[in-house]
Structure 1
């Protein structure tokens, strides 16, 4: 039995917006909508893998759609209305219109190159002109905007540890629509999609996000996303900042979160589609130098199967 997301009678698309997209992008939108709620059967996952490997442009199109729509509220609404893994014509039209705008501006959004960028697996120290230091983890990008009145950093992606030099000019980091202002301090910011986690190791920072503001002190952490700042929690810096010492430590972390971090350090991109699998707790210690050998360890400890898909990555799924 084969599965084709376009076999539905509703899939006779007539939207003008669809004509503006390449066929591979249209199909990628269908697949993403179908798979994004994490309930796809093994048959559907196998069909998706087959489509990804049919042509390089398929995997590339799916990658772009993922970057644009992960976490979008439009996707959530479609998931609630979708029945029997079918996409309504109306919903596909909405997503296609968004894709025309999103893919059309994608190059513009990325055209302003960051001032500093690390490759996967790279650990880089930057010393700014005021003496402040930034340690960038793998897969991190940031920009520096200094003037006589402000010291601003824009963290575009990844994770970075900041050691701020004393001075009368405010030092702020903008990340995931929030602002973290140093109050004479050392702190870490890690991005995961639209979520930011802030952890302070020395003195304090002020976190401003949406309409909320909190002061976070040494030994504390919080996250912010979706217009909410979490409650402050005690932080175990030795565990959560272990990457500064050349290793990664995960204690009862969801597999999806673990994979997100591993992908910043590994040359092999891992993917988890199954939502239940992504929530499975993982306890793991990884030497960053040996991170490309992590797959056998994950397969054995979690009873996983893997499938490598050229141009897209390695899919993890339950055995």
Structure 2
């Protein structure tokens, strides 16, 4: 839904509702500012008689919800009539905006893609746990472990919020990956804008744009990292991409694809490894590690251990 559509919906409600004469100059200026504004407003006038556009019907409903919050006595006269028409002609919208709760779990070695009621799409990496709680005013997701790609449907009045323990991530509509590693959180933005607020450092709130990657360390501090954001999407294509990765990241990533977990100790200095592999080649990669990096691979009683050599 474009900004012009959202603005036109808001103006349409004002004019049909109780817009004052003082608002008319602002309305005319908005119309004249961009030919698209007049086109969108005309489309809403046509929609008054024919509810054939689901996107504009949704825009009107969202604008109505927003203005009702801003001005509790707003919905009367023409706006009330419009609300009744919306309820009769677009019952599907109640489904998309209605509360929703679900727990999503992917087992080791398996990925999952799901579309939520509002049209947002989630792709969960293996061994990932997510809880979804949609209310009328907010879309809340708790990332308890693992990694997921979020392709969020835009809704300026109903933010999409991810709680990952170390940070809270807020968006209106964008595409990004959140990776919860044992000692840190990584956020990679493919497009759009994401707000990341540290849960442990209240003053650290960053805006992260397209192509950028940030990490939140165990103390809650935010850091920009020089990585390609596109690397984070590799799991959706059946690949793993390591770029200057330490053993902790490699162990956590590989463990998502094998029943026998991979472990490592937080020792320094850590070797840094760059590699690209298919998910089907995880075992071959582990066997080859000592040949491509200063790493020892040993088998313990319950796990495979990686140690610097």
Q: Provide TM-score, normalisation by structure 2.
A: 0.61
Aligned twin of 1:298: 289
Deviates more, 1:152-161 or 1:216-225: 216-225
Superposed displacement of residue 305, structure 1: 4.1
Q: Which of 300, 304, 307 in structure 2 is aligned with 1:314?
A: 304
Aligned twin of 2:243: 251
CA contact (8 A) 2:215 2:225 kept: no
Aligned twin of 2:234: 242
Tell me, which stretches of 5 or more residues in structure 1 are unaligned?
Answer: 1-113
Superposed displacement of residue 234, structure 1: 5.4
Superposed displacement of residue 291, structure 1: 1.4
Q: Which of 103, 110, 120 in structure 2 is aligned with 1:115?
A: 103
Cα 1:318/1:225, change in 2 over 3 Å: closer
Aligned twin of 1:171: 160
Aligned twin of 1:264: 256
Aligned twin of 2:52: none
Please give the alpha-carbon distance, in whole angstroms, between the structure 1 residues aligned to 2:190 and 2:168. 18
Please give the alpha-carbon distance, in whole angstroms, between the structure 1 residues aligned to 2:227 and 2:286. 28
Please give the alpha-carbon distance, in whole angstroms, between the structure 2 residues aligned to 1:305 and 1:201. 35
Q: Provide TM-score, normalisation by structure 1.
A: 0.59
Aligned twin of 2:23: none
CA contact (8 A) 1:125 1:135 kept: yes
CA contact (8 A) 1:219 1:234 kept: no
Q: Which of 197, 207, 226 in structure 1 is aligned with 2:196?
A: 207
Cα 1:151/1:284, change in 2 over 3 Å: same
Larger Rg: 2
How many residue pairs match? The answer is: 204
Please give the alpha-carbon distance, in whole angstroms, between the structure 2 residues aligned to 1:254 and 1:187. 22
Please give the alpha-carbon distance, in whole angstroms, between the structure 2 residues aligned to 1:269 and 1:163. 29
- RMSD of aligned alpha carbons: 2.1
Cα 1:237/1:221, change in 2 over 3 Å: closer
Q: Which of 145, 148, 155 in structure 2 is aligned with 1:160?
A: 148
CA contact (8 A) 1:248 1:286 kept: yes
Cα 1:304/1:231, change in 2 over 3 Å: closer
Please give the alpha-carbon distance, in whole angstroms, between the structure 1 residues aligned to 2:133 and 2:196. 19
Aligned twin of 1:37: none
Query: Relative contact order (C-alpha < 8 Å, sep 6+): which is higher?
Result: 1
Superposed displacement of residue 268, structure 1: 3.0
Cα 1:170/1:240, change in 2 over 3 Å: closer
Matching of residue 289 in structure 1 with residue 280 in structure 2: yes
CA contact (8 A) 2:106 2:112 kept: yes
What is the correspondence of 1:61-210 to structure 2 with a 5 Å cutoff? 115-167=103-155, 168-209=157-198, 210=201
